[in-house]
Amino acid sequence: MLIAGVLCVCAAVSSTVFGTWSLAHTPNGGATQLALRAMAPTQLAAAVMLATGGVVALASPPHTALMLLMVCVAGAIGTLAAGSWQSARYVLHREASDAKAADCGGNCAVCTLSCH
C-alpha cells in the first residue's frame, strides 16, 4: 500500500499543477486553450480524490485502504472523463455558435440564419 499511496499522492500533485497552470494562463481565444481551461476544475477535483486515496492508503489498514483507494481512483478517472466530455461539448458548441455568427456578419436582421 505504500507504493500505491505514494503514486496516488504524486498523481494528485501532478493533477493540481496542471489544473493550476490551466487556470493561470488566460485563454487567447483558441479552442485548445479554451478546452484546457475548462478542464481545470475537474483536474482539481480529481487531485482532491487522488490525494484522499493516497492518504488513506498510507494511513489505513491494508484491507480497508485497498477498497477506499479503488473507490478514489475510480472516482478521479470518472471525474476526468466526464470533465473531458463536457469541455469538448462546450468548445464544439462555442465554435458552432461563432461560425453561425460569422455567416450572418453579426447582423441577424439582414441574414435568414439565427445568430443565437
For 47-76, give the secondary structure using H, E and C. Answer: HHHHHHHHHHHHHCCHHHHHHHHHHHHHHH
Residue 12: inside a domain? yes
Tens-place pLDDT, residues 19-28: 999 888 776 7
Write down the pTM of the prediction: 0.77
* Nearest CA among 95, 116, 93 for reference residue 29: 95
Q: How far apart are CA 46 and CA 34, in angstroms?
A: 19
Tell me if 113 is assigned to some domain: no
19 lies in some domain: yes
63: in domain? yes
Identify whether 74 is part of a domain.
yes
For residue 113, pLDDT beyond 60: no
91: left (phi over 0), alpha (psi -120 to 50) or beta: alpha
Domain total of the chain: 1
88 domain residue, yes or no: yes
Each residue of 59-102: pLDDT tens digit?
999 889 999 999 999 999 999 999 999 988 888 888 787 777 66
Residue 39 belongs to what domain range? 2-104
